[in-house]
Structure 1
């Protein structure tokens, strides 16, 4: 792993330990790098009323925005299991709000990086902020 990717992995691993996942027992951590090079992290926070839980990616994005960041340069999602823990559909759209299609989306397990994608590969022909601009 590159130093930049290692920093995202460590941040996601650290915050994943704080996940509130009493119903699924499936903690997830996410970390992203913003346009200023800062790392922001989030973990999943479940709720007894399932629809109001928060994904790790949403938490990382909220932390970025709260910290003044406005663009995602790379994101890493860390979850355990045999399959790849890629962002859910809603989180793919959340990422798209702050990232162009070429943005790297890294998927990791506790042992390390499992696979890397571009956002376009995960969310082809996406609807983004520029879609709403009359001049686009």
Structure 2
């Protein structure tokens, strides 16, 4: 895993831990063109797991988590995210499958973030 992706995952983990009281146990992120696609495992707190034992509880946890995370990202990108990827954050698409405790977030940026300069080569192509 690249250092940049590791740092991106840390930003997401810290934000979710602060927001929900528990961060994901495992995060996997890939950069594709102007998107960061992140899969998060082990998201639910013990209280959420208890509430999610019934269909109504699962719906409540799903609605609360998706609406809450989307409202946070609608206000502003997490501190350091845009600087890390070198692009402006545009939108977040996010969902969680409560039964399997897995979430997916797709972060959309205003330009490609997957093109890093080769080691030893400056961004303008000079060595």
Asked if TM exceeds 0.5, the reply is no
Structure with a larger share of its residues in helix: 2
Bigger Rg, structure 1 or 2: 2
Taking structure 2 as the reference length, the TM-score comes to 0.30
Larger RCO, structures 1/2 (Cα 8 Å, 6+ apart): 2
